Amino acid sequence: MTYITIQNETLLVPKQPTIPFIAGDGIGPEIWEASQAVIDAAVAKAYQGEKTIQWREVLAGEKAFKETGAWLPKETLAAITEAKVALKGPLTTPIGGGIRSLNVALRQDLDLFACVRPVRYFTGVPSPLKEPEKTDMVIFRENTEDVYAGIEFEKDSPEVNQLIQMLQEQFAVKKIRFPKTSAIGIKPISKEGSQRLVGAAIDYALANDRSTVTLVHKGNIMKFTEGGFKKWGYELAESAYAQQTFTMHNYHTLVAEKGQAVADQALADAKVAGKIIINDVIADNMLQQILLYPEKYDVIATCNLNGDYISDALAAQVGGIGIAPGANINYQTGHAIFEATHGTAPDIAGQGKANPCSLLLSASMMLAYLGWTKAAQLIESAIEEALTAKKVTADFAHSMTDATEVSTGEFGQLLTDIITAQ
Ligand code: NAD
């Protein structure tokens, strides 16, 4: 087995890398089977046999539980840790106290701090928008902090009683409206956590010719946590990326100190010089902005909870979860898990109705992450061609006129044929 390694935050990818995959539960095996053939065909076409992926199945979810008694066996985590990059189908969330969501466990154990979700429109996909093609954004959602850190205390628990008492007595907090019946959650947002996420978003924008990075936050209300995210994000851009970016924080400082005309000129010069513009938008406004003016936004960097809402809202704008790809990445260690963003869809499992595009587009992101961009593009263009020809799985066929419905397997075969013929 040959493994991907990392040196100075640069991935070193052998020609035959071993890549673990988790087929997943529910519709997972169907979409995996359809997708694997397409991915292999794209790599073969792009590199004529010079590069291939050595797939290695690792277990998680129901299949793992049935075969090993563990939902997330240690061997799975060890294999992904060693191989750095993995592809994953959807997993059933085990029900029962004390068991972490498997997705959360993988993200936490590998410190996959950036949840990356590209959102673009494919011609022909049913969308609620009049002009869905204007939506083309990449969301960088912070994945390890915020109210999702899992620091919560139940109403009436000794911990919550102690915490409320401490807040009232030692910090003179008077704002807990119902102290006797409150549960409490904690929202940690750090400078390190914010800056590594914003840095990843700026790096992505630089590498992919994007023009803006928008910091999305609720700093108007949560001044120290989300306000900190915005402040540290701007600070990072103005220090580590001073040559490549121009911030709206800088713009407003210029307006105050030198007047509007000077600031406008500096912004215009930065655009001409091809600098990335770093701006910020308040989260609730952002949910309006992405609907009303999607063309104004490009790369988004945001805290965990905001990112969760914005990702799903944006996915719905361009065709929903069946086609939304995603990845969880630690750019410093190189660890990355590329995954279908939908769940196990038990209502359609085993019926050949599932759309494999979310997993396939995640695989395309994975190939791009490895630097195998030609293969990545082949997958995207094959999907584009199939959707334009209106040959689609059941989820899209229902809401498209004159569509030909094909099964999951037939859709995969169609894409393989398109790639092979290119
Ligand atoms: P779901 O995403 O599985 O299904 C929601 C709806 O979308 C269903 O009607 C389903 O048929 C449809 N759908 C989903 N993926 C589709 C696809 N590829 N093609 C066509 N239609 C698709 O969400 P749910 O029903 O809330 O969750 C089911 C299970 O999945 C739960 O155990 C949940 O915890 C788990 N889940 C896992 C992940 C993950 O592994 N990343 C994400 C979400 C939910």
Q: According to the model, what pLDDT value does residue 322 have? A: 79
Q: According to the model, what pLDDT value does residue 383 have? A: 96
Three-class DSSP category at 177: coil
Question: Ligand 1: distance of its center to the CA of 91 in Å?
Answer: 9
281 burial via Cβ count (<10 Å: 0-12, 13-18, 19+): buried
Q: According to the model, what pLDDT value does residue 99 have? A: 60
The two structure tokens encoding residue 212? 């803006």
- Please write the tens of the pLDDT for every residue from 269-279: 999 999 999 99
Give the range among 158-162, 313-317, 320-324, 343-347 with minimum mean pLDDT. Answer: 320-324
Q: Express as a percent the part of the chain with pLDDT over 90.
A: 89
Question: Ligand 1: distance of its center to the CA of 392 in Å?
Answer: 19
User: Which atom of ligand 1 is the closest one to the Cα of 341?
Assistant: 41
Q: What is the DSSP string of 104-120?
A: HHHHHHTT--EEEEEEE
User: Which atom of ligand 1 is the closest one to the Cα of 102?
Assistant: 40
What number of helices (H) and strands (E) belong to the chain? 15, 17
Q: Express as a percent the part of the chain with pLDDT over 70.
A: 99
Closest residue by CA, ligand 1 atom 40: 90
Q: Is the CB of 406 under 6 A from ligand 1?
A: no
Question: Which residue out of 344, 395, 400 has the highest number of ligand 1 atoms within 8 Å of its CB and is therefore the one to mutate?
Answer: 344
Q: What is the DSSP string of 297-358?
A: --EEEE-HHHHHHHHHHHHHHTT-GGG-EEEEE-TTT--EEEEESS---TTTTTTT----HH
| CA-CA-CA-CA torsion sign (74, 76, 81, 83) | positive
Q: What is the C-alpha to C-alpha distance for residues 121 and 137, in angstroms, rounded to an integer?
A: 10
Question: Ligand 1: distance of its center to the CA of 241 in Å?
Answer: 39
pLDDT category, 43, cuts 50, 70, 90?
Answer: very high
- Please write the tens of the pLDDT for every residue from 332-390: 999 999 999 999 999 999 999 999 999 999 999 999 999 999 999 999 999 999 999 99
Question: Ligand 1: distance of its center to the CA of 358 in Å?
Answer: 11
Does 100 have pLDDT greater than 70?
Answer: no
> Between 26 and 422, whose confidence is greater?
26
The two structure tokens encoding residue 32? 């995996």
- Percent of the chain that is helix, strand, coil (3-state, to 5): 50, 15, 35
Does 97 have pLDDT greater than 60?
Answer: no
Q: Is the CB of 348 under 6 A from ligand 1?
A: yes
> Between 102 and 354, whose confidence is greater?
354
Element (H, E) at 237: helix 226-240
Closest C-alpha among 285, 365, 287, 382 to residue 329: 365
Closest residue by CA, ligand 1 atom 8: 345
> Scanning the structure block, which residue is given the tokens 């999305």?
216
Do residues 74 and 92 lie in contact, with contact meaning Cβ atoms separated by under 8 Å? no
Q: According to the model, what pLDDT value does residue 98 have? A: 55
Once rounded to an integer, what is the mean pLDDT over residues 6-14?
92
Q: What is the C-alpha to C-alpha distance for residues 284 and 220, in angstroms, rounded to an integer?
A: 11
Q: According to the model, what pLDDT value does residue 178 have? A: 96
Q: According to the model, what pLDDT value does residue 93 have? A: 80
- Please write the tens of the pLDDT for every residue from 58-95: 999 999 999 999 999 999 999 999 999 999 999 988 77
- Angle at the Cα of 207 (from 202 to 211), degrees rounded to 5? 60
Give 215's contacts (C-beta < 8 A, 6+ positions apart).
198, 229, 230, 233, 234, 278, 279, 280, 281, 301, 302
Once rounded to an integer, what is the mean pLDDT over residues 289-316?
95
Q: Is the CB of 323 under 6 A from ligand 1?
A: no
Does 10 have pLDDT greater than 80?
Answer: yes
Closest residue by CA, ligand 1 atom 25: 345
Q: According to the model, what pLDDT value does residue 1 have? A: 82
In this prediction the pTM is 0.94
